[in-house]
Amino acid sequence: MASSNRNTAHRDQDCTLVIMAKAPRPGMVKTRLRRSLPSPAVTALYGCLLHDTVTLAKSLNGVKVAIVCPASDRDELERLLGNAVEIVAQTGEGLAAGLISVFGHFAGAVRRRVIAFNSDSPHLLPSVLDSAFQALATCDLVVGPTYDGGYYLVGAKAVHPTLFENDGLGTASALDRLLTRARDLELSAVLTEPFYDIDVADDLIRLARELRLAPARAPRTAAWFAVWGPTVVKLPPRAGEV
């Protein structure tokens, strides 16, 4: 995307990108990869993905960056990330509660363009996020679908507490349920281009190939692959699926 378009999209400084994150604790992050890799490797991977995602977010022009996390993880994330971004504890438990907290805290009554973004897609092109913010200028909802039936981002300009109820977060029906609920609420929705996050070994193998060609897109994660790459390339296809 041309820089002039990016500046136009964010000229009012009304855009906030919120990363949905957890503290990188053993057994608490990227759990489906534990079938394929040692727990310390999985935990280290998540930390690298998170750092690179923050770097991606902060590369956007005119966009405020923040993190929403479980309340029990806030102190650890503050120690890990320092003052790089604002860190807000969500209200309630689970991902749906986290998403409701994102829009309740950052959109509220001022109708900012707010996008909730996952913490494991630092390899996404910045232009996709820019386009998502542009879409929110003229629609109620923007959604980034994943190839497995979920979504890697969702954006809105207002709080819609029922939008994430019973939407099957973390399942292959998450996207369909979200769009059905949006239609029920009479919200106009735009989809960004499909992408993938890092949930299972197939995703990790694909990311390893991409970062071999362009390590600067996620340098900390590329450094992780420098250590664990030989193990990753030997993983059987679809390892770690549930």
Strand order of the β-sheet with 189-191 is 86-89, 63-69, 15-20, 113-118, 151-156, 141-145, 189-191
pLDDT for residue 221 is more than 50: yes
pLDDT for residue 4 is more than 50: no
Tokens (6 digits) for 5: 């378009």
pLDDT digits (tens, 9 = 90+) for 186-219: 999 999 999 999 999 999 999 999 999 999 999 9
Q: How far apart are CA 94 and CA 164, in angstroms?
A: 11
pLDDT for the residue numbered 187: 97
Positive or negative: CA dihedral 181, 182, 185, 186: negative
Half-sphere exposure of 222 (CA within 13 A, CB side): 14
Q: What is the mean pLDDT of residues 96-106?
A: 93
pLDDT for the residue numbered 218: 97
Query: Closest Cα to residue 218, out of 94, 56, 63?
Result: 56
- In DSSP terms, 67 is beta-bridged to 19, 87
Three-state SS string across the chain, please?
A: CCHHHHHHHCCCCCEEEEEECCCCCCCCCCHHHHHCCCHHHHHHHHHHHHHHHHHHHHCCCCEEEEEEECHHHHHHHHHHHCCCCEEEECCCCCHHHHHHHHHHHHCCCCCCEEEEEECCCCCCCHHHHHHHHHHHCCCCEEEEEECCCCEEEEEECCCCHHHHCCCCCCCCCHHHHHHHHHHHCCCCEEECCCECCCCCHHHHHHHHHHHHHCHHHCHHHHHHHHHHHHHHHCCCCCCCCC
Residues 24, 125, 154, 209: what is their CA dihedral angle, to the nearest 10 degrees? -50
Domains, the chain, with CATH or none: 7-200 (3.90.550.10)
Tokens (6 digits) for 44: 């280290």
Q: How far apart are CA 42 and CA 34, in angstroms?
A: 7
pTM of the model: 0.90
Given pLDDT bands bounded at 50, 70 and 90, which one contains residue 172?
Answer: confident
pLDDT for residue 239 is more than 60: no
Given pLDDT bands bounded at 50, 70 and 90, which one contains residue 49?
Answer: very high
pLDDT digits (tens, 9 = 90+) for 15-32: 999 999 999 999 999 999
How far CA 119 is from CA of 83, 93, 230, 231, in Å, comes to 17, 18, 24, 23
